[in-house]
Copies of this chain bind each other. A is one copy, B any other.
Amino acid sequence: MTMFAARIEVSHLPGIADPQGATVERALPALGFTNVAAVHIGKTIRLVLEAPDAAAAELQVAEMCERILANPVIEHYEITVEELVEA
């Protein structure tokens, strides 16, 4: 078994309201940042898992996303897996 580091970026599906992003976007001009648009705020989950290979690790992370890490009804997730090299 090998250790893998996974990064999962969870963002809102298109059309789903992103109130946190909208709030930041509205606040920016007051701070002098008038050239910014399309602010979207999602979450990033980083974790370490043990798996036989990278494909198995990614498959398990996808299952975890469906069951607990994301809400597939309103959220999109993007998984990146890489082998953890011990220092």
Please report whether the interface of chain A is mostly helix, strand, loop or mixed according to DSSP.
strand
> So how many copies of this chain end up in the complex?
2
**Is A68 a contact of B37 with CB atoms below 8 Å?**
no
A25 (CB) vs chain B CBs: closest residue: B47
Q: Is A38 in the interface zone, CB < 8 Å from B? A: yes
Known: A24-B69, A27-B68, A28-B68. A46 touches B39 (CB 8 A): yes
Residue interface mask A30-54, B partner, CB < 8 A = 1: 0101011111111111111111000
Q: Which residues of B contact A24 (CB under 8 A)?
A: 45, 68-69
Residue interface mask A52-87, B partner, CB < 8 A = 1: 000000001000100111000000000000000000
**Is A37 a contact of B48 with CB atoms below 8 Å?**
yes
